[in-house]
Structure 1
Amino acid sequence: MRVVINTTTLNKGGALQVAYSVVNELSLLNLEYSFLILCSVPFYNQIESAKLPNNFSIEIVKKTPAKLITRNRVIKILNKAVEEFKADIVLTIFGPSYWKPKVSHVCGFADGWCYYPETIAYKKLKPFDQLKRKLLSKYKLFYLKRDSDHIFIETEDAKKRLIKILNLKQEEVTVISNTYSSIYDQVRLFGKRHQLLLDERKHVDEIRFLLLSANYPHKNIQIINEVIELLKTEIEHFKFFLTIPEDDYNKIIKNLNKKYVVNLGTVKVEQCIQLYQNTDFLFLPTLLETFTATYPEAMVMKKPILTSDLSFARDICRDAACYFDPLDSKDIVKKIKKVINNPEIKKRMIDNGIVRVKDFPTSKNRAINLLELCLNINDKK
């Protein structure tokens, strides 16, 4: 089988991590299949250092089909690549692809805005922005349905919602859960290979919170301004570590609060290991997720999780996290103090995380499941 892995719509965030993990795991399986990776520039920046076997080839697509102004030109490039590669199937991680390949097409989807219309994330948007977001969701869903022969999604709840919204059949959507990358099972190897990103602690009692996320409105990063204002009256030495572009950092974080924040900029997947190693808590005040891999990553790295008291977080973390109201800075600080001042609670969260993470599939199994899905869809042609 000849498989095209399409990442041309990937720009930032967790989708890049998923694509990296899938490609990495497939490359380790010693398969007789041939793979062509159609890379967005951000994804190529992640994968360029990987040592892929000879049955993998890469083509960089510098423009995205997501933009109308470049779509027709990009689609011609994609169609030509698929034809010349003599592909049997296209696997898009993630869609919508804004392109209907001339062969079978399996497309992933993980945009919670589109199937959680009741999300509190809308409360953070201005009325005009709410309208834009709702129209964008309809736009994405239209292309997702039009361009996909089969859709994979990360949770059963998301599957039920998507089937209802798009009037799909059960057999047209498959759940393939998110998980942590296998690089987290190789901590020593990667710890030696990658330069330390964080400075040594200036104070032995400095508490470090890692907010490992791209900058999207639903990530609610700006709440840390309010949290810092309250927390600095309670704790003397602490820092928040962000991984967002410098321009975003300067827009979001108030100058007065920058002494409590370190922005590392965009980091590669394998560098995240050292971020976990050198911080104390995963702090994620997100308002909307389908399944973020940062939760199982923190569990496997034995880091306590401080996150939003919302259903998606509880479904994934269960008793491995301390939950707060993500829109209430006072509640956030209250829960931070609760965990910091109670070592037994912190240890219990870590222990529960070690148990909980075993419930998730390995990244190898996820890659195999995706490949088997492609085989099944291809066989039905």
Structure 2
Amino acid sequence: MYVLINTSNLKVGGGIQVADSLIHCLFMYRQHNFVIVLSPALSYLDVIIDGFDNCTSVIYSIQQNIQGVFWGKNIFLDNVVEKYNVDVVFTVFGPSLWRPKVKHICGFARPQLIYSNSPFFQKMNWVKRIYSKIRENMKLYNFKITSDWLITESNDVRDKLSLLLKNKQIYTVTNYYNQIFDCKEKWKDFNIKKFDGITLLTISANHPHKNLQIIPKVLDYIDEYNIPLNLRFVVTLSCNEMQLKEKYKDRILLIGKVDINTCPSLYDKADIMFLPTLLECFSASYPEAMKMGKPILTSDLSFAHSLCGDAALYFDPLSPQSIVEAIQRINVDKILVSVLIENGRKQLHVYDNAEQRCDKIIKLLEKIYCNK
């Protein structure tokens, strides 16, 4: 079977981590041949793929245009399918903006489409809300016309998506932490000066639904009420992405984008994994924190509960007071911290690990190929 793995639409965020993890497993399936279309953000994998005798790589960035959105037309990718006699296509995450001329499985990670009651939308004015609705309906339409089967990262997402796409076969294959977390010898150190207080780590791209602008408000609340908490937030945004007043400079460290090899070092130097997100289908930060033995503070929303269960302490993501109270509980209740960490280790068994995830995807590709 000749398989095209399509990552041409991935630029930032969790999709990069998922694609990286999946591609590192493909050498184990020597009975199949893989053509991997790498986006520029994943072009660093080109050298690794060259060492796999069953894989070929092509670097290409798909552009959003009318032909792609409404008809799924892309001449470049069609030519790749023809050149390599591709049998099936797997797009890591859609919308793919491309309807292959062969069977197509597409990953789904658009929480905006299924969590319509999220406070993310409640924060918008009516103009932005209407614009968002139109944009997301266009993406939903693209999923409909470009894919045969869909893969979600949780059963909660699958169940909700099934109500929108009733004629599609939808399967669940969960996310996990990247394999690098199991290879300590490959970790890269990130030099952060020691801090006599609580360090909260947020590894995230600069998406509005991540709600990272709540962080300065948390510090303002602490200052206003003279709360005895010495906090430092470490965030993987650049200074251009998050404009800070001078008073926050030593309390919010903006370290910019980091590669996956550096993430374990950041967790090692943190006390808490902090994720105030308003929308997710899955976040690798959850299993990463569980693997690294760090307590999780995250939003009291249904997607977070479905992914973390009893392995997190939850807060109202729009309330600085609620967030501060959760941090205080973590700070004073060491038994709670131990329970959260232990529950995290147990919760990891709920997810598909990297090898299991890849195996499930390959089996689905085989199934759709045999049913063509």
TM-score bracket for the superposition, by shorter chain length = over 0.9
Q: Which runs of 5+ in 1 are unaligned?
A: none
Whether 2:57 is the aligned partner of 1:64: answer no
Q: Aligned with 1:249: secondary structure?
A: coil
Does the C-alpha gap of structure 1 residues 73 and 114 become closer, same or farther in structure 2, counting only changes over 3 Å?
closer
In the TM superposition, what is the alpha-carbon distance from 1:198 to its structure 2 partner?
A: 3.1
Does residue 95 of structure 2 align to residue 102 of structure 1? Answer: no
Task: Write the letter of the residue equivalent to 1:114.
Answer: L
Distance 1:254 1:324 in 2: 25
How big is the shift at 1:371? Answer: 0.5
Find the aligned partners of 2:345 and 2:171 in 1 and give their Cα distance. 27
Work out the number of aligned pairs and report it.
368
Which residue number corresponds to residue 142 of structure 2?
143
User: 2:173 aligned with 1:176, yes or no?
Assistant: yes
Superposed counterparts of 1:210-359, under 5 Å: 210-232=201-223, 233-235=226-228, 237-250=230-243, 253-359=244-350
Cα distance in 2 for residues equivalent to 1:305 and 1:260: 20
Q: Which residue of 1 aligns with 2:25?
A: 25
CA drift of 1:73 comes to: 12
Q: Which residue of 2 aligns with 1:190?
A: 186
Query: Conserved in 2, the CA contact under 8 Å of 1:211 and 1:242?
Result: yes
CA apart distance, 1:160: 2.1
- Sort the Cα spacing of 1:56 and 1:137 in 2 relative to 1 into closer, same or farther, 3 A: same
Q: Say whether the 8 Å CA contact 1:65–1:97 is kept in structure 2.
A: no
Q: Which residue of 1 aligns with 2:153?
A: 154
Identical columns (%): 33
Q: TM-score, normalised by structure 2?
A: 0.93
TM-score, L = length of structure 1: 0.91
Measure, in 1, the Cα distance between the counterparts of 2:149 and 2:34: 19
Counterpart-to-counterpart distance in 2, 1:181 and 1:226: 32
Contact kept in structure 2, 1:305 and 1:321, CA below 8 Å: yes
Pair 67,274 (structure 1): closer, same or farther in 2 beyond 3 Å: farther
2:353 is matched with which residue?
362
Aligned match of 2:14:
14
d(CA) in 1 for partners of 2:256, 2:192: 14
Task: Rate the CA distance shift 1:376–1:73 in 2: closer, same or farther, 3 A.
Answer: closer
SS in 2 for 1:297: helix
Offset from partner CA, 1:53-77 (integer Å, 9 cap, x none): 122121111x323344998998111
Q: 1:217-259: per-residue Cα shift (whole Å, max 9, x none)? A: 1110000010111235434643111112432122xx3333122
Whether 1:124 aligns to 2:123 is yes
1:8-51 CA distance string (max 9 Å, x none): 11111111111111111223x15231111111111224x34646
What whole-Å deviation, never above 9, does each CA across 1:118-146 have from its counterpart, x for those lacking one?
22210222322111111111000101010
Q: Secondary structure at the match of 2:340?
A: helix
CA distance in 1 between partners of 2:55 and 2:346 (Å): 36
Tell me the alpha carbon deviations over residues 264-313 of structure 1, each in whole angstroms, 9 at most, x when there is no partner: 21112222111111111100001111121111110011000011111111
- Determine if contact 2:72/2:99 at 8 Å carries over to the other structure: no
Q: Whole-Å Cα distance in 1 between the matches of residues 23 and 103 of structure 2?
A: 19
SS at match of 1:302: coil
Shift of 1:181: 2.0
The aligned amino acid for 1:122 is F
